[in-house]
A and B are shown apart, each in its own frame.
Chain A
Amino acid sequence: MSSTVETRRVSGRIDQPPRRFSFNPRQSGIYVAFVLIVALFTVLTGGTMLQPENISNIIVQNSYVLILAIGMILIIIAGHIDLSAGSVVAVTGAVSAVLMVNLNMPWLLALLVTLVVGALIGAWQGYWIAYFGIPAFIVTLAGMLVFRALTLTVLGNQGIGPFPDPIRTLSNGFTDGYLGNVGLGPLGGADIVSLLVGVLVVAGIALSQWRTRRGRQHYLQEVDPLPVFLLKIGGSGVVVLAVVVQLARFKNIPWVLVLLAALVLFYSLLTTRAVFGRRIYAIGGNLQAATLSGVKVKSVVFWIFVNMGVLSALAGVIFAGRLNQAGPTAGTSFELDAIAAAFIGGAAVQGGVGKVVGAITGGLIMAVINNGMSLIGAPSEQVMLVKGLVLLAAVAYDIWTKRRATR
């Protein structure tokens, strides 16, 4: 029972904090699992998994669930749940269709109006949950029915389409190749703009990480040793560049990926660095302690549901735009995918724990399983079975590591 790690923990008293570059299975497990799953399906599909077109497909086909997962993780961190997301996707998609197709409203204005409708839906649910005190499970279960019903009412039980081009481009299209192509040797031609964006993103990641590191050093905090730091930056840089190169070889960068990247960046910052984000963790971690520390609990809960409504509306427009039609069954069971993504991504059932990047990774794990299994021709019941078991295994793993840590 006395490995080196433990003796270090005991001997590393107050003055000599142990360096924390050791592998943390609870936080890193999800990323390792993701890499392993991708590797597995790459082998099983004989490399098709990582082909340019397939990578592009995975992103575009799952963008709306990933957007929902971002909103869902905030709600789950606060200790709540949203079962209505799929129905809200449907009703907002329907609203946008009526505005754009039936009323010929300019697409940008229609998009904004739809987002406001999403916000109002979120405010409606947030009011009952935060201020009236009904459990989110009940309120959003009711919402699931109510907003599905409203979808049918708005659509008159038929699909509405087609959508204007800008919306279709947003959900299904790719950036233009303004600067033409460049030859990448055996990989063939690739779009220069996409490659430049990829390089800029990697540079941006490296720069911001470096500045964070310098800031921490300036305040005499411990940081990863330089080789570990460089390895982390290098690793993420390679992954980003590899994805971008593949995309550049296909049809360039999907617009939804640009949107998604912006959302992930913003919400990651919100959860880690903003006062509002801290309040969410405080509420989920210990509601009473948060209340007695002056956190306006009701207001925070209200606004995360408003936020969820807006993100659901965004997902609704993108989904409808992708199908080029708003249909009455749109978004069915999307909420379950988003919830599963959050929990696979390391959120705790009791609340207080979770990361935006984790939820995105959880969503991607499900996406890769979906995609990989259909590539190898597995029937849909098998896909469902595997996804269910993966969700169970992920949460079981989380609870198991937690229990081991406390023993």
Chain B
Amino acid sequence: MVDSILTMTGIGKSFPGVRALADVSLTVRRGEIHAICGENGAGKSTLMKVLSGVYPHGSYDGEFTFDGQACEFGGIRDSEHRGIVIIHQELALCPQLSIAENIFLGNEQTARGLIDWNRTNHRAAELLDRVGLREPAVTPISELGVGKQQLVEIAKALSKKVRLLILDEPTAALGEEDSRHLLDLLRGLREDGVTCVIVSHKLNEIMAIADSITILRDGRTIETLDVRADDVSEDRIIAGMVGRDLEHRFPPHEPKIGAEALRIEDWTVHSPTRPEHKVVDAASLVLRRGEIVGLAGLMGAGRTELAMSVFGRSYGRDISGRLVKDGKEIHARTVREAIGHGIAYVTEDRKRYGLNLIEDVKRNISAAGLGKLARRGWVNENEEHQVAGKFRRSMNIKVPTVDTVTGTLSGGNQQKVVLSKWIFTDPDVLILDEPTRGIDVGAKYEIYSIINGLADEGKAVLVVSSELPELLGLCDRIYTLAAGRITGELSRAEATQERLMQHMTRNQEHIP
């Protein structure tokens, strides 16, 4: 007899026009780490919201029991009362408040109606000790990196006497180092008897930590695998998630490398907030036509900062160095000048920096190249519609029409819209920052194919990514960045995860 802490049966949930969950059943054993896998749109987040009471009882079908008792949560407070705590993908911390204040937000430590600051800070310090975060409890959240903020969220969950901890994509924004620490922490919590449900795209992490894996597809449970008993491999999980065998996660590609397109020389960028600190330090890179070049680096190595500073000085101050495009030195002091010189930058955070989410697909696609559709300042809307339609077909953007609002699209389709926007500016050099972040496996393959196609058209592509397998599978050459310096350059043949990691962790002592 399996000792299960949570049993969900026949869970269904509909939104207008969409059936997010059709029939999900889930059994979580007491004290295990249970991973939920599935493509974007498979229903993982919806399921977690049902479980944590975000969707109140009555708004979904089916039922579930926690610790032997039926659950009919009216809201998130009810579920927290029972010891179920969810940590969302987008962290919900107040940046101006201190760590301690955040931990006890909504659960203030009071004495006769007033906050007892000594107890608040003392208890916070205990919790921080437990999650392994060595920061004073009075430090404002805004001074912490994403990894440490994640730990604060977990400390907050622990303060609520958590029995079932739900983590939605906990390592999506973390570098390797922070991810490893987080996974270790989860193992420690398992020792203490806390049951964990973890939703993640990172299969290698799931393989490393999970005891059981439940795979969802199209709102249904496909199967639950016992990691110790069953013969589980990443390919097996992927096959379950996409419903077909993905023989290779990367489309085959024969590069046709041409002449040098962009040379970045001695590029140095200072931090806008701490001008004496060099975020990028005398970096030199060469990008060639038809070649896909990778840029690897740990969190904080300066990858995005390097990319954005090259793209019209969108980041940093006191930038020095030379940009040589097709053999001639260029100056790209503004985004417009960079676009004019044929440089495009696809941001790592498409929702915040890439898209106008309340605007439709066609106007997002035309946003950066609107000049090409206009005569004397007036836009030819028919032409615009046609261009967008062309991209919809060639990029396989799954929308009913190009008048659909981009905010309603899945991550993969949104990314295709952003890519379309930049391809429409007809760039020679494309800088793609985390091009597949938060995108499901099937759409990733499509994005990789698009990137290969861009290289085949003779464009130079620089892919910035925190996922080493992605860089190894996609790139013809990989630079490593550590503490703002280029520490290595490896050809496809030379590059392995271990070697990249070695180069990426060089100069660690320089990181302040």
B338 cross-chain contacts in A, Cβ below 8 A: 294
Q: How far is the CA of A1 from the CA of B382 in the complex (A)?
A: 36
B327 within 8 A of A: no
Contact B382 A218 (CB under 8 A): yes
Chain A residue nearest to B59 (CB atoms) is A407
| Cβ proximity bits A271-292 to B, threshold 8 Å, 1 near / 0 not | 0111110100110011011111
Chain A residue nearest to B383 (CB atoms) is A219
A13 cross-chain contacts in B, Cβ below 8 A: 400
| Cβ proximity bits B379-393 to A, threshold 8 Å, 1 near / 0 not | 101110110000000
Of A4-12, A242-250, A370-378, the one contacting chain B is A4-12
B352 within 8 A of A: yes
Contact A10 B399 (CB under 8 A): no
With A9-B400, A18-B400: A275-B371 Cβ-Cβ less than 8 Å: yes
B233 within 8 A of A: no
| Cβ proximity bits B47-72 to A, threshold 8 Å, 1 near / 0 not | 00000000000000000000000000
A17 within 8 A of B: yes
Residue from B18, B379, B403 within 8 A of A10 (CB atoms) = B18
Q: How far is the CA of A394 from the CA of B218 in the complex (A)?
A: 38
B96 within 8 A of A: no
Contact B357 A1 (CB under 8 A): no
Q: How large is the interface on B (under 10, 10 to 19, 20 to 34, 35 or more residues)?
A: 35 or more
Q: How far is the CA of A294 from the CA of B403 in the complex (A)?
A: 23
A405–chain B nearest beta-carbon distance, Å: 8
B359 within 8 A of A: yes
Contact A275 B370 (CB under 8 A): yes
B352 cross-chain contacts in A, Cβ below 8 A: 286, 288-289
Of B9-17, B162-170, B469-477, the one contacting chain A is B9-17
B381 cross-chain contacts in A, Cβ below 8 A: 272-273
| Cβ proximity bits B226-265 to A, threshold 8 Å, 1 near / 0 not | 0000000000000000000000000000000000000000
Q: How far is the CA of A352 from the CA of B357 in the complex (A)?
A: 10
Contact B356 A282 (CB under 8 A): yes
B398 within 8 A of A: yes
B74 within 8 A of A: no
Contact A215 B382 (CB under 8 A): yes
With A273-B378, A290-B367: A221-B353 Cβ-Cβ less than 8 Å: no
A12 cross-chain contacts in B, Cβ below 8 A: 400
Chain A residue nearest to B373 (CB atoms) is A275
Residue from B378, B400, B403 within 8 A of A14 (CB atoms) = B400
Contact A274 B367 (CB under 8 A): no
B257–chain A nearest beta-carbon distance, Å: 29
Contact B358 A353 (CB under 8 A): yes
Contact A285 B17 (CB under 8 A): no
A22 within 8 A of B: no
Q: How far is the CA of A183 from the CA of B169 in the complex (A)?
A: 76
Contact B401 A222 (CB under 8 A): yes
CB-CB contacts below 8 Å: B332-357 with A: 334-336, 338-339, 345, 347, 352-357
Chain B residue nearest to A297 (CB atoms) is B335
Q: How far is the CA of A219 from the CA of B356 in the complex (A)?
A: 25
Contact B359 A285 (CB under 8 A): yes
B3–chain A nearest beta-carbon distance, Å: 37
Q: How far is the CA of A73 from the CA of B497 in the complex (A)?
A: 54
B142 within 8 A of A: no
Residue from A9, A215, A278 within 8 A of B363 (CB atoms) = A278
Q: How far is the CA of A348 from the CA of B357 in the complex (A)?
A: 14
A293 within 8 A of B: yes
A296 within 8 A of B: yes
A109–chain B nearest beta-carbon distance, Å: 29
Contact B15 A10 (CB under 8 A): no
B43–chain A nearest beta-carbon distance, Å: 16
Q: How far is the CA of A273 from the CA of B18 in the complex (A)?
A: 34
B421 cross-chain contacts in A, Cβ below 8 A: 293
| Cβ proximity bits A6-39 to B, threshold 8 Å, 1 near / 0 not | 1001101110011010000000000000000000
A232 within 8 A of B: no
Chain A residue nearest to B338 (CB atoms) is A294
B512 cross-chain contacts in A, Cβ below 8 A: none
Contact B382 A286 (CB under 8 A): no
Q: How far is the CA of A77 from the CA of B260 in the complex (A)?
A: 43
Q: How far is the CA of A292 from the CA of B381 in the complex (A)?
A: 22
Contact B356 A289 (CB under 8 A): yes
Contact B385 A221 (CB under 8 A): yes
Q: How far is the CA of A221 from the CA of B18 in the complex (A)?
A: 26
Contact B347 A292 (CB under 8 A): yes
B450 within 8 A of A: no
CB-CB contacts below 8 Å: B293-322 with A: 311-312, 314
| Cβ proximity bits A318-336 to B, threshold 8 Å, 1 near / 0 not | 0000000000000000000
With A6-B17, A292-B347, A294-B368: A285-B400 Cβ-Cβ less than 8 Å: no
Residue from B367, B385, B403 within 8 A of A282 (CB atoms) = B367
Q: How far is the CA of A407 from the CA of B20 in the complex (A)?
A: 11
Contact A275 B335 (CB under 8 A): no
Contact A291 B335 (CB under 8 A): yes
B334 cross-chain contacts in A, Cβ below 8 A: 294, 296
Contact B358 A275 (CB under 8 A): no
B390–chain A nearest beta-carbon distance, Å: 11
B377 within 8 A of A: yes
Residue from B311, B363, B379 within 8 A of A273 (CB atoms) = B379
Contact B357 A285 (CB under 8 A): yes
Chain A residue nearest to B396 (CB atoms) is A14
Known: A273-B381, A285-B356, A294-B312. 13 other contacts (CB 8 A): A1-B16, A6-B16, A12-B400, A20-B403, A222-B401, A276-B377, A288-B352, A289-B354, A289-B355, A292-B314, A292-B347, A292-B353, A295-B367
Q: List 29 A-B contacts (CB under 8 A).
A: A1-B14, A1-B16, A6-B16, A6-B17, A14-B399, A17-B400, A17-B401, A20-B403, A216-B382, A221-B382, A269-B378, A272-B381, A273-B378, A275-B374, A278-B363, A281-B363, A282-B356, A282-B363, A285-B357, A286-B355, A289-B355, A289-B356, A291-B335, A292-B347, A294-B336, A294-B338, A294-B339, A296-B334, A404-B16
